[in-house]
Chain A
Amino acid sequence: MTILDYTLEELHERLVNSELTSVQVIEAVYEKINETEPNVGAFLALNKEEALKQAREVDKNGIDPNNILSGLPIGIKDNIVTKDLTTTAASKMLEDFVPVYNATVVEKLAEAGMISIGKLNMDEFAMGGSTENSAFKVTRNPWNLSKVPGGSSGGSAAAVAAGQLPASLGSDTGGSIRQPASFTGIVGMKPTYGRVSRYGLIAFGSSLDQIGPFTRTVKDNALVLNAISGYDDRDSTSYNGETPDFTENIEAGVKGMRIGVPKEYFHEDAKEKGVVESVRAALKKYEELGAEIVEVSLPHSKYGIPAYYIIASSEASSNLQRFDGIRYGYRAEGVKNLEELYVKSRSEGFGLEVKRRIMLGTFSLSAGFYDAHFKKAAQARTLIRQDFEKVFEDVDFLVAPTTTSTAFEIGGRIDDPLAMYMADILTVPVNLAGVPSVSIPCGFSDDMPVGMQLIGKHFDEQTLYRAAYAFEQATDFHKQKPTFKGGK
């Protein structure tokens, strides 16, 4: 065992009984980053000096035994603004952008005593499913370095899977936490829309975006969600109801629970059989643990992809209007007038995938297409949301594969945007409905991790953690370590 094999909970115990200091933990993190980063490439910026300063402070003040995350490390996806620490959203547009305030989640982590290690790579503006759309670097999957870590939160997932960090934050607009968690064999939670404040998250699809944690274990994940959840008057969509303790009853098991298995999510004819087979085996395990398995239908699932790509791109086209080269961000040189400044700055600052989405969104919102596109997608969204509401009258939560395949080769899909979009088929309905979903490791297919997602009722993350924990404790998939296949 090395320091970084411990979970957050185990690290906390060792800080409390003085077996370890916060400085030792933070130093171990940076050593591990030094050692593995040439292979993995997860980070865009490191916060070493400040992190060690904070760790020394924690050690000097003594660990509060009731403050479980105090003095422990976490990494932040680079679309979450961090005061005085470069925040680029992996875009040339924001290459030298230094925020002057912290996102609410960053403030909350600091209140909990967590130490920010650095900023993690992603697809530019969170648009993509492989992290290949980063303007700056390629991030590799720690299980096989020729494969993608998934995306858009690929750096956040790869860092945790590689053992560089026990926890990180990502964001999920159409699967960007769950899919990379699945591809790298770790736990990733997309909370209910509204659970976590979006203040300081660089907006992509504002009605879909949610921030959530990546960890190696279910309980660690619940601990981080505890820290970042809650009402925030700077985000009018944040939920002002109660925030429960997500670890409460986590050990209560699944006996007597009813698990819905949405038949539309099981592509038995998929090329890669290992994914569906692993999830079927996991369902057997749940049965052994005393849960009842019920087949259910979410009949509008197939409209998820078209509805999602219209809505997310429309919202993105509006949100990304702010990048005009004036107040911050990339500014084109040698322009003659203001109009040219806008057009050149945007055309040179944004990458190809971002331009595609802006174009699709602008088209969908434009006169003559609004009804057939944006309005129709909003109606489809209602039907998709009702599908979930209906099945949740009968079952406690749903289980399905997170993705249709395991991680694919770097370069394998990047020239086929449509294939990349279609691969989100199992994750986007959750965002359209606003419900929570956690992806946990449930097997391997050709030596690559398989993830399954547990989907719950609005604001019922507790049931998901409880069920995820029960499966995790009954299996050892979460204990498998990546092999850095193909590494130097």
Chain B
Amino acid sequence: MAINEKTVKHVAKLAKLEFKEEDIHDFTEEIDKIIQMVEQLEDLDTQGVEGTYHGITHHSVVRKDEAKLDIDREDLFKNVKTKQDGFIKVPAIMDNGESGA
């Protein structure tokens, strides 16, 4: 096994995901097979090879960081579920028993 249920639960926590307790076993087996597959890379000798972390071969271009009004504030709120006084309303950050938004 490349990964166990405990690690799956830990990674899920990092990714802000949760799985039903009854699904964890099968999901772990499945993701384990995938991890074993990607670990075929272990056979590859990469000593001294620089990594490629981007898609471009040409130079990346930067522009002046100037503020401009692209999209209306009102438009930006169109897809917000709950709002109040020009702010996005969300549940309480601390678990204080309120039902929040």
Instruction: List residues of chain A with CB under 8 Å of any chain B CB.
Output: 96-98, 100-101, 193-194, 206-208, 231, 233, 236-241, 300, 302-303, 305-307, 309-310, 317, 321, 324-329, 331, 334-344, 346-347, 350, 355-356, 358-360, 362-364, 366, 372-373, 375-383, 385, 417-418, 421-422, 432, 434, 458-459
A413 to chain B, nearest CB (A): 14
Within 8 A of A (CB), among B62-94: 62-63, 70-72, 75-76, 78-81, 88, 90-94
With A329-B79, A359-B12, A362-B11 as known contacts, state yes or no: A208 contacts B34, CB within 8 Å: no
Contact in complex: A373, B51 (CB < 8 Å)? no
Bound complex: CA of A54 vs CA of B9, how far in Å? 52
A136 to chain B, nearest CB (A): 18
Interface string of B26-58 (1 = CB under 8 A from A): 000011011101111110101001111111111
B71 in complex: contacting residue of A100, A344, A422, CB < 8 Å: A100
A418 in complex: contacting residue of B34, B58, B63, CB < 8 Å: B34
Contact in complex: B16, A343 (CB < 8 Å)? yes
Contact in complex: A327, B80 (CB < 8 Å)? yes
Residues of B within 8 A of A339 (CB): 16
Task: Indicate if B17 sits at the interface (CB-CB under 8 A).
Answer: yes
Contact in complex: A336, B41 (CB < 8 Å)? no
A309 to chain B, nearest CB (A): 5
Contact in complex: A337, B92 (CB < 8 Å)? yes
Contact in complex: B88, A326 (CB < 8 Å)? yes
A358 in complex: contacting residue of B15, B42, B53, B75, CB < 8 Å: B15
Contact in complex: B41, A380 (CB < 8 Å)? yes
11 additional A-B pairs beyond A309-B34, A360-B38, beta carbons within 8 Å, are A193-B57, A207-B54, A236-B61, A237-B54, A237-B56, A238-B61, A240-B61, A302-B40, A324-B16, A366-B11, A373-B38
Instruction: List residues of chain B with CB under 8 Å of any chain A CB.
Output: 3, 7-8, 11-12, 14-19, 30-31, 33-35, 37-42, 44, 46, 49-58, 60-63, 70-72, 75-76, 78-81, 88, 90-101
Contact in complex: B35, A343 (CB < 8 Å)? no
Most A CB within 10 A of own CB, among B52, B53, B71, B100: B52
Contact in complex: B90, A341 (CB < 8 Å)? yes
Contact in complex: A434, B91 (CB < 8 Å)? no
Most A CB within 10 A of own CB, among B44, B62, B75, B95: B44
Contact in complex: B30, A337 (CB < 8 Å)? no
Residues of A within 8 A of B35 (CB): 360, 363
Contact in complex: B91, A338 (CB < 8 Å)? yes
Which B residue's beta carbon lies closest to that of A236? B60
A100 to chain B, nearest CB (A): 4
Most B CB within 10 A of own CB, among A100, A206, A303: A100
Contact in complex: B79, A366 (CB < 8 Å)? no
Bound complex: CA of A207 vs CA of B12, how far in Å? 24
Which A residue's beta carbon lies closest to that of B74? A100
A206 in complex: contacting residue of B39, B55, B75, B100, CB < 8 Å: B55
Which A residue's beta carbon lies closest to that of B48? A379
Residues of B within 8 A of A206 (CB): 55
Contact in complex: B30, A417 (CB < 8 Å)? yes
Contact in complex: A366, B57 (CB < 8 Å)? no
Most A CB within 10 A of own CB, among B11, B60, B100: B11
Contact in complex: A317, B15 (CB < 8 Å)? yes
Contact in complex: B91, A337 (CB < 8 Å)? yes
Residues of B within 8 A of A335 (CB): 91, 100
Which B residue's beta carbon lies closest to that of A381? B52
Contact in complex: B37, A306 (CB < 8 Å)? yes
Bound complex: CA of A64 vs CA of B7, how far in Å? 62
A357 to chain B, nearest CB (A): 10
Contact in complex: B40, A306 (CB < 8 Å)? yes
Complex A-B, nearest 3 residue pairs according to Cβ-Cβ distance, in ascending order: A378-B51, A328-B79, A379-B46
With A309-B38, A360-B31 as known contacts, state yes or no: A98 contacts B11, CB within 8 Å: no
Residues of B within 8 A of A342 (CB): 16
Contact in complex: A207, B41 (CB < 8 Å)? no
Which A residue's beta carbon lies closest to that of B94? A337
